[in-house]
Amino acid sequence: MNTQPTLAKEGENTGTTGDSQPSDGLKAGLKNRHLSMIAIGGVIGAGLFVGSGSGIAAAGPAILLSYALVGTMVVFVMRMLGEMAAARPTSGSFSAYADQALGRWAGFTIGWLYWFFWVVVLAVEATAGAVILESWIPAVPQWAWALIVMVVLTATNLASVSSYGEFEFWFAGIKVVAIAAFVIVGLLAVFGVLPGSDNPGAGFAHLSDAGGFLPMGAGAILTGVLMVVFSFMGSEIVTLAAGESEDPQRAVTKATNSVIWRIGVFYLGSIFVVLTLLPWNDKSIVEKGSYVAALDSIGIPHAGQVMNVIVLTAVLSCLNSGLYTASRMAFSLGQRGDAPKAFAKTNKRGVPTAAILSSVVFGFVAVFFNYQWPDTVFAFLLNSSGAVALFVWLVICVTQLRMRGIILRETPEKLVVRMWLFPYLTWATIAMIVFVLGYMIYDGGSAREQVVLSLLVAALVLVIALVKDRLTKQTDRV
């Protein structure tokens, strides 16, 4: 049996045909404007709004270096993924590429781990959205709000891929406009030229006036890396969605080329504004949240409620994309025989109904666990999926090392996006990811628990993959 991995031929089990139209039952229902906004907004999760205050408290102004380091790593990973996705757009994205370049075991393992990650995220985001909605309308209990949110977005995804795209277009649009406005208004206040601002406008003084730029020492930069790395998860969604777009190659190329300024403006830009409006050790940054504290310092009325609306939008966006992503990964696994065949079936609208429903059922179960056993069962689910983001990025890097040669051999004309300084930057990125995983184990606490539990789950899935592969080969020989 030939074990040398090769790229599938044109239109064969890849999700696309030669003219970039889906050939597997999915429909090209995503317009270029949908893909553009998914690419821009996909990198902005609720974690940026909610979790950045803890990072600032742990590292001070040096958290900017933490964001810059992780942002650089994500830019490199997205460049590698963009190289493969532009050459071969498919709903399975990196899982399908790992299957082709590394072996069936790799595609199976990383595909199921990624699916597991997103269905757990569904429960987290549904609960977060329910908390906000209950604070507005307390007559409806929190569990009911979580149920309503999940049902509405499930219906959206079941309707058609264009419905998902339209919802995500507006969700992402609100996030983008909100952060852009925050950066502009914040910078005007920083330099004292915003009319009616309550902030004294200290310029760049707050970056060093409370113990210097590195008040907690250089080691705090790495601590900050651990706290911010997971807020970048979701950048890769656009490569999954590209398989259902009008012009996958153009969409992936555009998204890959724009990732640098997206991270620069939305992450580094907004955190920079917070740190220049307030001293990093201002208690309100942790108590209220970094963005609410910054808006309060300017004198924006009802800053907390304004931010709640934006966070709710980010939560709904993450839920919408999480359900889409989990279902498309399940669909791809079904196509490759790594999941029940029903997952690979689509209805007349090109929607993989079984893949969506199976993903949302697990999401509902996880929501139930969150309410019933938040500190035991759900905590285990959360921690055991915590390091999956880093596993995914690591697999993308290793896959690209092999896939470059395969693409050059079989379809060199499709290598329109290239990883810079290949293979040196690819190896450097692998080293960065391995270092972060190692530091998480060394750092101890919840970070170590996440890595250890995630590795145990990954090992379990890998064993299943190897056993399945062995049984398949035995069956083929018979």
For residue range 345-370, list pLDDT tens digits in order.
988 888 899 999 999 998 889 888 88
**What pLDDT was estimated at residue 37?**
78
Stretch 452-475: mean pLDDT: 90
Query: Residues 421-428: contacts with CB within 8 Å, 24+ apart?
Result: 425/76, 426/76, 426/80, 426/397, 426/400, 426/401, 427/401, 428/76
Q: How does 374-383 read in b/e, with b if 16+ C-beta sit within 10 Å? A: eeeebbebbb
Grouping H, G, I as helix, E, B as strand and the rest as coil, residue 245 is: strand
Q: Which residues contact 460 (CB under 8 A, 6 or more apart)?
A: none
Cα distances (Å, whole numbers) of residue 128 to 8, 123, 145, 318, 344: 41, 9, 10, 11, 31
- Counting runs of H as helices and runs of E as strands, what totals does the chain give? 19, 0
End-to-end CA distance of the chain: 13
Distance CA 277, CA 294 (A): 6
| Proportion of the chain in helix, strand, coil states, percent, rounded to 5 | 75, 0, 25
Position 219 confidence tier, pLDDT thresholds 50, 70, 90: confident
**What pLDDT was estimated at residue 461?**
95
Residue position matching structure tokens 């999954």 = 240
Query: Residues 377-383: contacts with CB within 8 Å, 24+ apart?
Result: 378/123, 380/453, 381/120, 381/123, 382/120, 382/124, 383/446, 383/449, 383/450, 383/453, 383/454
**What pLDDT was estimated at residue 396?**
96
Mean of per-residue pLDDT scores for the chain? 86
Instruction: Indicate whether 446 pLDDT > 60.
Output: yes
Q: Which residues contact 412 (CB under 8 A, 6 or more apart)?
A: none
DSSP structural state of residue 80: H
**What pLDDT was estimated at residue 183?**
93
Look up the pTM and report it.
0.87
The values of phi and psi at residue 218, to 5°, are -65, -30
Distance CA 239, CA 248 (A): 8
**What pLDDT was estimated at residue 277?**
94
What would the pLDDT profile of 71-101 be if each residue is shown by its tens digit?
A: 999 999 999 999 999 898 887 889 999 999 9
Percent over 70 (pLDDT), the chain: 94
**What pLDDT was estimated at residue 470?**
86
Distance CA 430, CA 24 (A): 33
**What pLDDT was estimated at residue 298?**
94
Instruction: Indicate whether 6 pLDDT > 60.
Output: no
**What pLDDT was estimated at residue 25?**
67
CB-CB contact of 55 with 191 (8 Å): no
Distance CA 40, CA 261 (A): 10
What would the pLDDT profile of 264-289 be if each residue is shown by its tens digit?
A: 888 899 999 999 999 999 999 988 88
Cα distances (Å, whole numbers) of residue 8 to 3, 96, 356, 399: 14, 10, 26, 15
